[in-house]
A and B are shown apart, each in its own frame.
Chain A
Amino acid sequence: MNQISDLITAFLEQCERTPKHIAFSQDDRQISYQQFEQRTKKVAGYLTGSNQCIAIAMDRGIDAAIAIYGILRSGNSYLPLDINNPANRLNFIIADAHPVYIIGIGPCPENINIDSQETQWLDLRDLLISDFSYRNVQIKTDAIAAILYTSGSTGTPKGVALSHKAITNFATWAGTTFNISQSDHIASLAPFHFDLSIFDLFTSLSCGAIVSFIPNRLTLSPSKLTQWLCDNKITTWYTVPSLLSFIALKGSLETRPLSDLKQILFAGEVFPTPQLIKLTTLLPNVNLYNLYGPTETNVCCYWPVITKQLQADKNIPIGIPACNAVLTIDKTTHELLVESDNNFSGYWQNGKLNTVTFKPQGYATGDKVSINAKHEYCYHGRLDRMLKCSGYRVEPAEIESIINQLEGIETSVVIGLKDITSGQRPAAAVVIKKGHTLTHIIKPLRQKLPAYMFPCKFTELSAIPLLSNGKVDYLSIEKKLTH
């Protein structure tokens, strides 16, 4: 195959090959490659300018996918907003990103404040009936395609900016490695602000596959979810371990073998090995892959699960380099450094791209790793305090900064408690000002933090315990929160 370096060329070439083939399916609605292509052209025709940030305020689905491809075709970058975020976080991201447009369906919802003159709300339905003509836009390979906001260690979210080249490199690798073709039927569950969605949106449409959106309500009904995977003849699914654990334990897989399913890819957190063993036993003919990498590098390492190698009391490796990444381990800190064409271009801050200078060996992940006897990389936790909660990365500093803004709080420390199913749960130790009570103070917090960031436990301390060197004694805080 010739070298394609932007997302739109790959998509348009596929549209020429299979115009009548279904691209996306959502509940009872289906859209062919040709119909999808025409709608994205309408959106692109309306959007003027180039290399600007355009936000999307829609739930994942066909309409949001139309908006994303339309934005990319117009030569701009898409920023998917998490519309379920509390208003303060949502509006922080909008104020930080300075999008020229926010595309939604219908009028602008009440929880979104557009203060600035430079941002305009657009209703996707108006764009689709507009008759602006689309002029072909040449997309530069290093132009920013996506801006994905993640939790930031400085206390506020930050936008990871990914170029067309970076996303294309991953999408092409995944298409080849997992042998995605026109006969594939991909299940999509990841919200578009989550980097797992890059596979669902771009690997899929460059290979001619069908993408079916899993209805949101099924995530709480494991048995109905596996029935849905069966009914929709799903061949490939990229998701998070916590949901796969739920399915392995409660998804009725004993009576529902999922005969069309070829492979499951998972990422976002460590898959607890006992649950993974259970899943491999229930789905013996399905290939499983552990994909690893922060949003900044996308997937840089992967491990095809070898059932024989699984031991209940040992974590699985993150495997071997992916996407032609060159991996280095720092000799003193054991930190993993990643040099890859997938690497992000910088952080989007205050309405513009702040390019980053990488170390000579690439992006420093903050993850501690080692290499085992089989030459596979193994993950050993973080060098800093970052947590993994329901597949999301969560910076304790972001939660602390929100807690500290509450009336009556002196200070707080957030740590992660290991969850038995997978990943971690944030928990908070707080010091309260005189005359206040914990239950009273915490009440407004629910409206300020996304559900996956909300501490599962609180404990009240008279002071934050410190070590003799003056640093916070996280271990003693953890003990207080677990007892």
Chain B
Amino acid sequence: MKPKIREFIFQELIFVANPDQFSDDDDLLEAGLDSMGIMRLIMFIEDNFGVTLPDEEIDPDNVQTLNALEKWILRHKK
């Protein structure tokens, strides 16, 4: 799951000079992920991984890093 999300983020949402060196704990928001990017990311995750992420939980804390994002998704994956 993470590699697919990673690919989507770095191909569609933000440009980082060297995605391979961007760690799962690096800050996506600092790297340029904004409100529109978060919206597209959530739609991508919901469409591809059969999970619904509750609106109330959309928050910087849950999308700050790839690891935080994964934890958030796993909490809702049955």
Contact = CB atoms under 8 A, between A and B. Distances in A.
Interface of A: 217, 219-224, 242-243, 245-246, 249-252, 390, 419-422, 438-440, 442-443, 446, 451-452, 454-458
B58 A223 contact: yes
Interface string B33-61: 01110111010000000000001111110
Contacts of A224: 56, 59
B72 to A, nearest CB: 13
A440 B17 CA distance: 7
Interface centre among B36, B40, B42 (most CB of A within 10 A): B36
Interface of B: 12-15, 17-18, 29, 31-32, 34-36, 38-40, 42, 55-60, 63
Given A442-B17, A458-B15, A252 B56 contact: yes
Given A242-B36, A249-B39, A220 B55 contact: no
A243 B38 CA distance: 11
Interface of chain A, helix or strand or loop or mixed? helix
B55 A223 contact: yes
Given A249-B39, A390-B36, A420-B40, 12 more contacts: A220-B34, A220-B63, A242-B36, A243-B35, A245-B39, A246-B36, A246-B39, A251-B55, A421-B36, A439-B17, A446-B32, A455-B15
Contacts of B60: 217, 220-221
A278 to B, nearest CB: 12
A452 B42 CA distance: 20
Contact of B35 (A219, A439, A440, A456): A219
A451 B32 CA distance: 6
Contacts of B42: 250
B38 A220 contact: yes
A389 B41 CA distance: 18
11 contacts: A221-B58, A224-B56, A224-B59, A242-B36, A243-B35, A246-B35, A249-B39, A250-B58, A390-B36, A456-B15, A458-B15
Contacts of B34: 220, 390, 451-452
Contacts of B55: 222-223, 250-252
A246 B34 CA distance: 11
Interface centre among B13, B35, B38, B57 (most CB of A within 10 A): B35
A247 B1 CA distance: 27
A174 B15 CA distance: 40
B40 to A, nearest CB: 7
Interface centre among A222, A422, A440 (most CB of B within 10 A): A222
Contacts of B13: 456
Interface centre among B12, B38, B58 (most CB of A within 10 A): B58
B36 A220 contact: no
A452 B36 CA distance: 11
Nearest to B64: A220
A451 B42 CA distance: 21
B58 A222 contact: yes
A221 B64 CA distance: 12
B26 to A, nearest CB: 13
Given A439-B17, A442-B17, A220 B35 contact: yes
Contacts of A390: 34, 36
A474 B50 CA distance: 39
Nearest to B56: A223
B56 A220 contact: no
